Amino acid sequence: MDAVSINTFFLVGALLIALSVLLSPVSSKLGVPILAIFLSVGMIAGEDGLGGIVFDNYSLAYLVSNLALAIILLDGGMRTQVSTFRVALGPSVVLATLGVAVTTVLTGLLATWLFDLELLQGILIGAIVGSTDAAVVFSLLKGRSLNKRVGPTLEIESGTNDPMAVFLTVTMITVLGSPEIDLGVGFLLMNFIQQFGLGALVGLLGGWLLWRLINRNQLPEGLYSILAISGGLIIFAVSNAIGGSGILSIYLVGLLLGNKPTRSRYSILNVLDGMTWLSQIGMFIVLGLLVKPTDLVSIAIPGLMLAFGMIVFARPAAVWLCLIPFKTFSSKEKWFISWVGLRGAVPVILAVFPMMAGLPNSQLYFNVAFFVVMVSLLVQGGTLMKAASLAQVELPPKSEPIYRTGVEIFPTSEWEIFVYCLKKDKWCVGEPIRNLFMPEGTRIAAVFRQQRLLHPSGSTKLQESDILCVLGQEKDLPALSQLFSEAPERAALARFFGDFFLDINTKLVDVALLYGVDLGELSAGVTLKDLVAEQLGNSPVLGDHFEWYGLQWVVADVVDWQVTKVGLRLPADEETLSE
């Protein structure tokens, strides 16, 4: 490659990335997932598009996509809280294994009929598109407020189900490529255990060693993120080399680094955020360049039938079957989880496998996978938040600081600076700092007024539009944000937690007297806590709700997985009277 070609490569690549970034605001205006915009940029720049770029290097696309997916999973793992495993781990693992298998079989049977294929060829298509995609799920759920049963279940499932899809795809390719090989149950079981077992072992052990390495070395600030990314990629490659699942390994590395006191953790997360966006843009542009839109026309009708068959039948059947043992999920939550069976980069990456193996119909597999991904992004991704609203799994937006950053006071410091801007209707406006009920151990480090730095003392009275820099830890964030910031307004969620709030230990007899409810022979000692346990089980989460004697009750506050407050939402007629 000469200097001119290299310069052209840099110019075209940078232009496509810049164009993707500049078009990203269009996604919210059109209601189209941002990743679909990136994919469209690649298609428009491709051979059949305005750019006319001829790109058919599937090996390079496979390399770029795997590198990007590894970085995305590392970032996703670091942002997943282990505390959510209490209610989400079991269902996530079942969905990531049995759920993928069921989706594969049902989708494969439909593909066999629609494309007039042999049964094993149809099952191969089912395996290729059988898993939800971590890149898409993490991207679309990022910053969304879903209840802590549904959101983490979807995130953990998408981060751990790729090994199952890879296992099924490789197995089907082996069977189709070498029919004489006898793949018995024992062989398949051993390969399955190897993928998951080695992947988990290498991920956890390697992640722990990387965590120790990061914490034990004194490096310039900018090098910790490079060490974390390179270490994660080493573990990813080692796991793949010995027959494990590198995808699972690097997700677990991120999970471990994000949930232990890690030196320069906030700097690592900030760098990873940018790297993840670049990975998503680059991966979807490259995948978009690979496809020829004209090739998709011939499979449009059966492709649509397959995509919608998977969306409305195969995925829901798998979800409902897998969640039978988990009684805490409501019907609406199951339907929402079914709907968020988003497909993205992974199916397209897996569709490259048959091409690299030289299987017949490999171009068909690739085109079908790409078509299914496009439909999934546009249909499921474009309606995700509407579906969340209908399923009542969306929570009101939290009050958040306008900016936050870590403070490296000592190597594994968890201290942060939270920045707030005071609005005129906050009660603390006009009050001296000494009168504030701030969490113990937090301090107002600085106050900016009209772009001038003040040195606050206990007698300093806060004013509207003051900018406060508060030193604290993440555990203090809910109390500080409630004190100093306002949640974004969402009219549809204004009364989500109810009109009145009652302590969990309130006796039902007192509630009955207030609202004229006849409790019959119910014991006078029964409390709201007993009622919540009876209606919602032992693991309720924020936002869970139920109806009791015509009254709507909502879990309004949860501390350490224990309900402390319940909201009461008045019926419409009582609400009108109260006004």
| pLDDT value at residue 573 | 47
**Mean pLDDT, rounded, for 296-309:** 93
Q: Any residues with CB less than 8 A from the CB of 459 and at least 6 apart, and which? A: 432, 433, 434
CA 42, 47, 52, 54 torsion: positive or negative?
A: positive
pLDDT category of residue 301 using cuts at 50, 70 and 90 = very high
The CA-based dihedral angle spanning residues 537, 538, 541, 543, taken in that order and rounded to the nearest 10 degrees: 30
Which is more confidently placed, 334 or 84? 334
| pLDDT value at residue 575 | 43
**Mean pLDDT, rounded, for 322-341:** 91
pTM comes to 0.84
| pLDDT value at residue 576 | 38
Contact criterion met (CB below 8 Å) for 77 and 252: yes
Q: Is the pLDDT of residue 37 over 70?
A: yes
Q: Is the pLDDT of residue 487 over 70?
A: no
Which is more confidently placed, 95 or 441? 95
Helices (H), 217-361: 221-241, 246-259, 265-290, 293-297, 300-309, 315-322, 331-339, 345-357
Q: What is the mean pLDDT of the chain?
A: 86
Rounded to whole angstroms, the Cα distance separating 276 from 283 reads: 10
Which is more confidently placed, 324 or 295? 324
Sheet holding 500-503, edge to edge: 500-503, 562-569, 551-559, 545-548
Percent of the chain at pLDDT > 70 equals: 92
Percent of the chain at pLDDT > 90 equals: 31
163-207 pLDDT tens trace = 888 888 988 898 888 766 666 667 677 877 888 889 999 999 999
Burial class (CB in 10 A: 0-12, 13-18, 19+), 39: buried
| pLDDT value at residue 435 | 87
Which is more confidently placed, 49 or 110? 110
| pLDDT value at residue 92 | 93
Q: Is 501 helix (H, G, I), strand (E, B) or coil?
A: strand
Radius of gyration, CA atoms only, the chain: 26
**Mean pLDDT, rounded, for 549-571:** 81
**Mean pLDDT, rounded, for 3-7:** 77
Q: Is the pLDDT of residue 527 over 50?
A: yes
Q: Any residues with CB less than 8 A from the CB of 326 and at least 6 apart, and which? A: 90, 91
| pLDDT value at residue 252 | 94
Rounded to whole angstroms, the Cα distance separating 124 from 354 reads: 9
Rounded to whole angstroms, the Cα distance separating 131 from 169 reads: 11
Q: Is 98 helix (H, G, I), strand (E, B) or coil?
A: helix
| pLDDT value at residue 39 | 87
Long-range interactions of 55-60: CB distance < 8 A, separation 24+: 55/286, 55/289, 55/290, 56/290, 58/290, 58/352, 58/355, 58/356, 59/356, 60/286
For residue 76, give both structure tokens: 């996703």
Q: Is the pLDDT of residue 26 over 80?
A: no
**Mean pLDDT, rounded, for 259-284:** 90
Lowest mean pLDDT among 88-102, 121-135, 364-378, 543-557: 543-557
Rank 369-373, 547-551, 558-562 by mean pLDDT and report only the highest.
Answer: 369-373
| pLDDT value at residue 579 | 38
Burial class (CB in 10 A: 0-12, 13-18, 19+), 445: middle
Q: Any residues with CB less than 8 A from the CB of 89 and at least 6 apart, and which? A: 156
Which is more confidently placed, 52 or 499? 52
| pLDDT value at residue 533 | 86
Which residue, among 341, 330, 340, has the nearest Cα to 539 in the 3D structure? 330
| pLDDT value at residue 258 | 92
218-247 pLDDT tens trace = 888 889 999 999 999 999 999 999 988 898
Rounded to whole angstroms, the Cα distance separating 471 from 321 reads: 47
